[in-house]
Amino acid sequence: MPEGPFSDITVIDLTHVLSGPYCTMYLAELGARVIKVEHAGHGDDTRSFPPFVDGSSAYFATVNRGKESIALEFDKSEDRELLLEMIRRADVVVENLRYATLEHLGLDYDDLRRINPRLIYAAISGFGQTGPLHERSAYDPILQAMSGMMTINGQPGSPPTKVGTSMVDYFSGMFCLAGIEAALYNRTKTGTGAKIDIGMFDAQMAVLETALMNVLNGGPAPRAIGNRHPAASPCDTFSTADRALFVIAANDDTFKRLCIAMGDPAMAEEPGFRTGADRRANDAALKERMERILRGRSAAQWESLFAQAGVPCAIVATVAEAIELPQVLDRNMIVTAGGIRMAGNPIKISSLADPPTRKPAPALDADGARIRAEFAPRK
C-alpha cells in the first residue's frame, strides 16, 4: 500500500479466520505494516476455505491482503524469542486466539508491556477477558443465538434464523479497529500503550438497535417482522409487475411524495394513513393498497419515479447484480489482489490512495526469511 496515516505503525498479527484478520486488513489498508504470524505447517485455517481461484482461497485473500507472513511454532524457544523481539519493536499486537493461549507462553499483556510500554495490545474473543463466560469459545452464529438476534430475524412465524453473513465477526473486527485507533491517538498524548478487550458477544449486543431499546425501556417484546421496521411505515418489500421493490417513507412528508409519485395523492390524507402512528397501525392495509398500484409497472420504472421524488427505494438485487451497479464501480468497491476480486475499502480518505489493485495476501511464510533476519534477537 502507498503511504497512509499508519505508515509508521508496525502490527504483529496473531489472528486467524475472520474477526481479527478483518481488523488487521484495514490497518494494512490504512498504511500499517502488518506481519501475520501463522502456525508453521498449515497456517490460517481459512487458507483451505472455498471459493478458490487458481488454487488460492478467495476467503483468505480477501481479509489478509497487504500483509506479510511468517510461520512460527510457539513451543520452540528460538521462535518464541523471535516473536518477543518482534513485539518489542512493534506498535500493535492483535490476537483472537483461544483463551489463555498467550498467557501460557508468557506472552500476555502484563508480560509484554514490560518489554514494550508503548505497545497497543488488542484481543478479540467470544466473551471478552472478564465475566463468567470469558473462558468459553464461541462462533458467530452461537452469539447470534445467545443475544436474541435469531429471534428478531426472518419472517413472522419463521424459526429462529441467523443473519446471512458473519455479522458478529465483522462488527467485532471494526470495533477492534476503532479501539486500536483510539489507543494509538491516546499514546501520542501519554506515551504509553493500552490493552483493548473486544468481546464478540458485547459487539452483538451493541447492535441490537430497537429490539434492545424496547426490552430495556418497557416497549413491545421484539419479534421477527420480516422486512418491516418497528418505527416506520411503509418500510417493506413490495410486489411490482415483475420483481420486488423495497420502499421506505419514514415521515409524513416523504409519504406524501410517495403517494403523489404513485398517482394517488389522496391516500396521504386518508384517516388510516395520515400520520406515522396511523400507518404503523394499518401497515397490512397500507401494503395491500400500495401493491395494487405498484403491480401496474415494473420495479425499474417505479424505482426511477420514486428516486426522482426523493423517496428512498431500491430493487431487491442479487449479489451478482449488486457488484455491477455503477455506484459500486465508481466508488471502487470491487478491487483485485493477486488476481482475486474482492470488496474494496469503504473508508475513503482524501489523503489516502484507493487503487483498483492491492498487494495480494501472502503465501505461508513468504516473508519468513527476511523477517527472521530483520528481527533476530540482539545479543
* Rounded Cα–Cα distance for residues 131 and 206 (Å): 17
Exposed, middle or buried, 314 (CB in 10 Å: 0-12/13-18/19+)?
Answer: middle
In this structure, are residues 52 and 156 in contact, taking their beta carbons and an 8 Å threshold? no
Beta-carbon contacts of 92 under 8 Å, excluding residues fewer than 6 positions away, are: 9, 10, 11, 12, 27, 32, 119, 120, 121, 122, 180, 184
* Rounded Cα–Cα distance for residues 101 and 16 (Å): 13
* Rounded Cα–Cα distance for residues 85 and 97 (Å): 20
Specify whether 229 is catalytic.
yes
* Rounded Cα–Cα distance for residues 223 and 157 (Å): 9
In this structure, are residues 124 and 172 in contact, taking their beta carbons and an 8 Å threshold? yes
Radius of gyration of the chain (CA): 25
The dihedrals phi and psi of 320, each to the nearest 5 degrees, come to: -60, -35
The dihedrals phi and psi of 290, each to the nearest 5 degrees, come to: -65, -40
β-strands 334-337, 340-343 pairing: antiparallel
* Rounded Cα–Cα distance for residues 139 and 279 (Å): 39
Catalytically annotated residue among 16, 39, 104, 229 = 229
* Rounded Cα–Cα distance for residues 12 and 49 (Å): 23
Sheet holding 313-315, edge to edge: 235-238, 245-248, 313-315
Could you list the active site residues? Answer: 229
